[in-house]
Structure 1
Amino acid sequence: MRIGLPSAETLQGGSLKALILTLLLSVFMFQLLRTVGLRTFSMASETYMSGTHSAAFVTCPNDTVARDLARGIVEKKLAACVNIVPAIKSVYEWQGKIEEDNEVLLMIKTRSSKVPALAEYVRSNHPYEVAEVISLPIDQGNPPYLKWIGDVVPE
């Protein structure tokens, strides 16, 4: 088996032109991919310390409360983003009875260091006697998105 480029004698006029064009395009594409690839690699290689950011969850009785809390949380720089997830069904025990309610869920992205202030803000502005505020540390994620959270929410 012979590996390599065919000789000029074995190529006819059209095939030789196609080979030259393919080689030129390959060189151009290699340079383009190298440039784009390095930029993509540098974005993906930004370092992130696991647990620096958190996703917090808060349930609300209705959309109005959810919107008011979400807006206040973002305005006060307690989070970079709050997603409002409508129409969840919650089943829970409260004062010895099984309850079932329609609620709205807030998914909050913030710095882990802001969770205590976030919990205090929710407690002070939430109509529930015992408001849900739970958070989970973010272990991994899209580096530019995680950087954005850090840029928006100051230490």
Structure 2
Amino acid sequence: MSGFIFLYTTFPDEAAAARVARELVDARLVACANIIPGMRSIYRYGTAVEESQEVVAIFKLPETVGERAAARLRECHPYETPVVAAFAVQPDDATAAWLRQVTD
């Protein structure tokens, strides 16, 4: 049995997150995207410390499509260098079956 992952990234706003989420779901690269508004980020960009409001997105998928999904996510992402992190997860049997069923 293959494993499962969540891809984590952030977006500048909900509209961008929803656009990319719909594209990845429509392409059957991810089963689901959770979009969570209201994250406050403090980060170093170049020589300055920046602060902004962002939106978290978590994409759920089988590990077998992880590389293709991450590549497409980076292509569609509005940030020049988005953070795309994969986390291994262990869903219950019903969720695992659904993740496999709705992705290619």
Give the one of 94, 98, 101 matched to 1:144. 94
Q: How does 1:112-131 map to 2 (within 5 A)?
A: 112-131=63-82
Structure 2 equivalent of residue 96 of structure 1: 47
CA deviation vs aligned residue, 1:1-52 (integer Å, no higher than 9, x gap): xxxxxxxxxxxxxxxxxxxxxxxxxxxxxxxxxxxxxxxxxxxxxxxx4x61
What is the aligned-residue RMSD (CA, Å)? 1.3
Q: Which amino acid aligns with 1:141?
A: P
Is the Cα contact below 8 Å between 2:7 and 2:70 reproduced in 1? no
Give the one of 48, 51, 58 matched to 1:107. 58
Structure 2 equivalent of residue 52 of structure 1: 3
Deviation at 1:151, TM superposition (A): 1.0
Q: Secondary structure at the match of 1:153?
A: coil
Is the Cα contact below 8 Å between 2:8 and 2:56 reproduced in 1? yes
Give structure 1 stretches of 5+ with no counterpart. 1-48
Deviation at 1:141, TM superposition (A): 2.4
Q: Specify which structure has the higher proportion of strand.
A: 2
> Within the alignment, does 1:84 sit opposite 2:35 as a pair?
yes
Q: Which amino acid aligns with 2:93?
A: P
Larger Cα-atom Rg? 1
Q: What is the number of residues matched between the two proteins?
A: 104
Q: Specify which structure has the higher proportion of helix.
A: 1
Normalising by the residue count of structure 2, what TM-score does the alignment of the two structures yield?
0.92
Deviation at 1:97, TM superposition (A): 1.5
Distance 1:115 1:141 in 2: 16
Is the Cα contact below 8 Å between 2:4 and 2:91 reproduced in 1? no
Deviation at 1:133, TM superposition (A): 0.9
Deviation at 1:96, TM superposition (A): 2.0
Structure 2 equivalent of residue 61 of structure 1: 12
